[in-house]
Structure 1
């Protein structure tokens, strides 16, 4: 998989919210926490035996000449298969769906460690990940069968596509009540589209069911245990899996973690502080390059330019190429540009703000290639399946407040302290109007899980406090802290820090956790 797809997965989805963890009631038809047995017949009780014992038919990954993801997997030597699972785990004899997986077999079979399932966050597709992650994992990569799995509702796994006019549910509440009302209408329209097109799938889309699917994948692969490598939302999925299926994880790496106590539809609430700090750091970077970008010669001047652009977009949408960009979108562009503090990403954001400034001052501007791609994602239906499927999981896990005034009050309460990001962090989303309610409470997460966690103190998506929250819950875990870096998912992103990457890959290679938590300084 290309780095650009990794960044898309990580930049679009984020971190943790405010929903409290409830006590889980397990349906009697689901075998969870049973003693794992070897081979594909494990957990055969509960009517699920035929799923665990199924034969997988491996084949080429490309679905046609225009399937870039499949072509890249084939070129890397991966193979793909479909895994049959129940749509409704309470009715295992009913309708089934197919979960798409890819597998890049260990290239060092004499020293093979086992199978590792990958998830890059989002929630988003993950079938494309094995070739990319083999490179990230350095010497450990060739010793695993690397498996990418598209979670149900996404990619090739019973995708939910509601025909959205956007690739994401994220919109800012904007600068005014009128802008907020537009955001409410947008969120309601997205939910209504899903009610019309995907009502039969939505009740069965949740992280708990994705974890159940993952365990059937484990069994169908013939593995007693699996290793796991997840980032962002993938850390929540990994923690839920560990709680639902204890004893079935070998090595477990969690990169930029979701605090389960904060997970829910309001998953952006609380991220505004980290994003404000990252924006200020970026502004200092851009100020040092004023001759190139023309945004201001000091940090304060650059931040003032950003505010002028946002206010101009509130008065009248900015004409940027074929797009009209209002105050519901400009803050999201800023937010998406702060996923890492690497120079290339900072330059892309500075170039985008320069275009927006020109549009505000001159009435029109042409986007850079990167900005055009971002606006196509935000303002067209080209990636409707991505946003639809992602939202189905978030809304399927926990209910959201239904009254728009709750969101308006929260935005107003935080607007003074965070004028750029309060409308993103506390704005309304489709879960407020979702046509189905969650069928199960959230999973209690905790216990002895000897995972290795990676976290950056300046993470703008799953903030550092979120990683600390999961670290406290997982007894036996160790955490690598990357100090003074504004980056989300540093390990899976391939962020340049030898201390982080060597420690993580050393664990995957040997299975030995550090004796104590580790702190890594910035590099270079």
Structure 2
């Protein structure tokens, strides 16, 4: 679809790479906690961080126009004799990310001590200027966690997507400026205000795409960049999940092999095929009608979302196995009690409250501002049907319609074309179920100066901290700036 209102950013000297020297630190730092219920702020204070606010343009093509506020956290380096610089940490989402400071500190205290650690709540998230369209929790989770295996399900999905889009219509003045490109521009303003010429960066999941966009827009302001579990360079936006169904199925098969080896504990099947057959029987039962699980009903539209995995640790697979056993027993007609985590999810599915801390509206708006998508609902249903044979379980979820199909505004700019030679280190799991490995390889090719560490035979999303081999190579890069000479495997 045609992109309307493309903005050309020019003449913003403070934002253009190399156009102006960095300022001295201009921020007014203070304690982070706003009260006893502010868990993020309290944890930042306990870690020795301070917080500040910064005004940035809503629209960078009108730098003297309306301003919005960014919330920033910083923990100064404590090992000043070996200080490496400033490391911005983005934990993904997109979501509030001031807690990136404590996330990285927990992962590696000794390395964290060598950096000024910075976390930023992106525009419209967390303590930054907010965008809240009034998304009820249950409706948003239906949009992102339910699929459309039947025509009736698709009609319901379309109605929910239209409803959510309509709730953001009163905020048309903000919606075009929620994009990743603008978040990257904000990051460079923060860099300037911190008084540093080059930023180092650690981004996870969505944070990898933000990091890559920043590298493209501001290549001369980048230092050590780590991208953990990378997005493909050209698909972040309304339909970023489209290619995930087969990766989700591969991760489910990996779990099935794990469960088969522990059949005495879970009794889901003695072989991988037998465990997957148990899942097939659960799916077949939900297609015949809702299955009673405690006080809740599981439908065919809900099931794929309940069967997603993102972590292949023993603890995660054990909990997942317990959940599948509950579903198996429910299908057999037994009275069952959901596991504690299942019950929590079911309660969220039923929750009609609007919870601003979840930032559902801002997350959706960010995707809709980054790329266009088809405005014809039938496009999505045809896509689901065309892939039913190869993606029977997860396809109706991965390819489902979303609010951007009915969004009240169009992107203000073309999406960023990522293609540069700046150095970066990409961390990947070969079986990542959330962001398939093929897309991560594509990001590696687009960032021609990058190296890529692959954690082999791993079906997880988020690699740092999961492997001593990966961590050692990553820490060496963050300490020395030296990338591996080749693409290592761990």
The normalised TM-score by structure 2 is 0.93
Cα offsets for 1:98-138 (capped at 9, x unmatched): 11111121121222111111112111211112122123235
1:294 maps onto 2:264 in alignment:
no
Does residue 48 of structure 2 align to residue 77 of structure 1? Answer: yes
What residue number does 1:216 align with?
189
CA contact (8 A) 1:403 1:432 kept: yes
Shift of 1:382: 6.0
Give distance in 2, aligned partners of 1:123 and 1:20.
25
Alignment of 1:335-346 (within 5 A): 335=308, 338-346=309-317
Q: Give RMSD over aligned pairs.
A: 2.3
Give the counterpart of 2:469 among 483, 499, 515: 499
CA–CA separation in structure 1 for the residues paired with 2:32 and 2:298: 38
- Residue equivalent to 1:237: 210
Unaligned runs of 5+ in 2: none
C-alpha distance in 2 between matches for 1:151 and 1:145: 19
Q: 2:353 matched to 1:386?
A: no
CA distance in 2: counterparts of 1:378 and 1:157, whole angstroms: 27
**2:359 & 2:318 partners in 1: Cα distance?**
26
Larger CA deviation: 158-167 vs 205-214: 158-167
Q: Contact between 2:8 and 2:61, CA under 8 Å: does it hold in 1?
A: no
Q: CA contact under 8 A between 1:29 and 1:89: conserved in structure 2?
A: no
Structure 1 position 39 matched with structure 2 position 22: yes
Q: Is 1:511 equivalent to 2:481 in the alignment?
A: yes
Shift in Å at residue 190 of structure 1?
1.5
When normalised by structure 1's length, the TM-score is 0.87
**Counterpart Cα distance in 2 of 1:389 and 1:58:** 26
Q: Report the counterpart of residue 144 of structure 1 in structure 2.
A: 115
Match of 1:127 in 2: 98
* 8 Å CA contact retained: 2:98, 2:119: yes
Ranges in structure 1 where 5+ consecutive residues have no aligned partner = 1-18, 42-52
- Is 1:304 equivalent to 2:277 in the alignment? yes
Task: Report matched runs for 1:221-370 at 5 Å.
Answer: 221-321=194-294, 323-335=296-308, 338-362=309-333, 365-370=336-341
Which region of structure 1 is more displaced relative to structure 2, 469-478 or 320-329?
320-329
Whether the aligned pair in 2 keeps the contact of 1:174 and 1:314 (CA below 8 Å) is: no
Q: Secondary structure at the match of 2:118?
A: strand
Q: Contact between 2:85 and 2:116, CA under 8 Å: does it hold in 1?
A: yes
Count of residues paired in the alignment? 483
Asked if the contact 1:61–1:80 (Cα under 8 Å) also holds between the matched residues in 2, the reply is yes
Q: What are the equivalent positions in structure 2 for 1:2-21 lying under 5 Å apart?
A: none
Closer/same/farther in 2, CA of residues 21 and 480 from structure 1, 3 Å limit = farther
Secondary structure at 2:219 match in 1: coil
Residue 172 of structure 2 corresponds to residue 190 of structure 1 = no
Distance verdict in 2 for CA 1:322–1:223, change over 3 Å: farther
SS of corresponding position for 2:387: helix
- Secondary structure, counterpart of 1:486 in structure 2: coil
SS of structure 1 residue aligned to 2:277: helix
Shift of 1:288: 2.5
Equivalent residue number for residue 8 of structure 2: 26
Alignment match, 2:130: 159
Q: How big is each residue's C-alpha offset from its partner over 1:139-187, in whole Å with a ceiling of 9 and x where there is no partner?
A: 3211001111111122122222222233544134333211121111121
The CA distance in 1 between the partners of 2:398 and 2:89, in whole Å, is: 28
Q: Spell out, residue by residue over 1:248-276, the C-alpha distance to the aligned partner (whole angstroms, 9 max, x if none).
A: 01111111111222333110111111111
